[in-house]
Amino acid sequence: MKFFPPKFLLSLIFCAGFLLQNLGATGDSLYFLLPTDTVVLRSDPASGHLLFDHYLAPKQTLYGAARFYGFSLDDLYRLNPALRKGYTPGTKVTVAIPRTVIRPSFSRDSVAWFVPVRYRLSPGETLFGLTRRTLGHPDDSRIKALNPGLTAENLKPGQVVKIGYLRIDGINPDAQVRVEDPYVLRNRPLHARWDSLTAKKTPLFTNGKAAWTTRGDRSKWMVLHRTAPLGSLVEIEEPRSRKTIYAQVVGRIPEQVYDSRVILVVSPLLVQAFGVRDKEFYVRTRHF
């Protein structure tokens, strides 16, 4: 039997990683991260988490990706609602990378166990904001040590800077951040407004069928309602998805289009948030 020296085997791993990177994959069929990968993060303004886009390599599964990054499968679905419909090799899977697992350095004999971690600057982001708010560092000494010549004056939007290193053997679930549904996070301002407007008031409860329309602004939380005052807010609970979303009443339900059993008509954004496919679905609502 012919034996290959360790250096030769390591070079094969690097070559395989290079080929898979060119195919748009992260890692390979055996490993979710390879020493040849680079983890480029961005900041999510809604949650404040650092996010990374992992592209599934052949034979990688969503369950395996969830375990590798320290998530449950439900957590991964919260970050990637569209993946409930299925996935294929090359599918993008967004994951959160905890700040606590990003190391400033590693020993020379551990080079095969780490990948570099970089961060892509958002428009308007400053060196102070990057170090203190985004990364939680006490000062900018660590960033400057990793990026010689970097100053507050030469930063620009879209620039990628090195922020540390990540082990390639996975993330401990105890170190992971708490994941919230992206639509619930996006709906948070209306939730806060609901709380401020409804304190010490008694709501009206209505349960029944909701319908949805493809018309209207796809970026806004809007509903048609039979009796709630125009401009007011409605709390909508969809039991199947176990989500509660708040929306503004913008009009009345057309009697000639929807039957009397429909208590609510929701906009396309609410359809996406609840993940419904049927034209009518059951909801529980509260309004004033």
CA angle 184, 187, 192 (to 5 degrees): 110
**Cα–Cα dist 235/247, whole Å:** 7
- Classify residue 133 by its DSSP letter: I
22: pLDDT confidence band, cut at 50, 70 and 90?
very low
d(CA 167, CA 110) in angstroms, rounded, equals 9
Verdict on whether the full-model pTM lies above 0.85:
no
| For range 190-208, the mean pLDDT | 91
On the question of pLDDT at 200 being above 70, the answer is: yes
The strands making up 114-120's β-sheet, listed across from edge to edge, are 92-96, 50-55, 39-43, 114-120, 160-167
Task: Say if residues 175 and 98 touch (Cβ distance below 8 Å).
Answer: yes
Residue 224 in contact with residue 253, Cβ under 8 Å? Answer: yes
Say if residue 16's pLDDT is above 70: no
SS3 248: strand
* Beta-strand runs (E) in 148-242: 160-167, 204-212, 222-225, 233-238
pLDDT band for 20, please (50, 70, 90 cuts).
Answer: very low
What tokens were used for 119? 């961060």
What is the model's pLDDT at position 24?
61
Torsion over CA: 178, 180, 185, 190 (sign): negative
What is the enclosing helix (H) or strand (E) of 159? none
Tally Cβ neighbours within 10 Å of residue 5.
Answer: 8
By percentage, how much of the chain surpasses pLDDT 90?
69
* Sign of the CA dihedral running 99, 104, 106, 112: positive
Q: Judge whether 136 and 143 are in contact, CB under 8 Å.
A: no
pLDDT digit string (tens) for 123-162? 999 999 999 999 999 999 999 999 999 999 999 999 999 9
User: How far apart are alpha carbons 50 and 66 in whole angstroms?
Assistant: 16
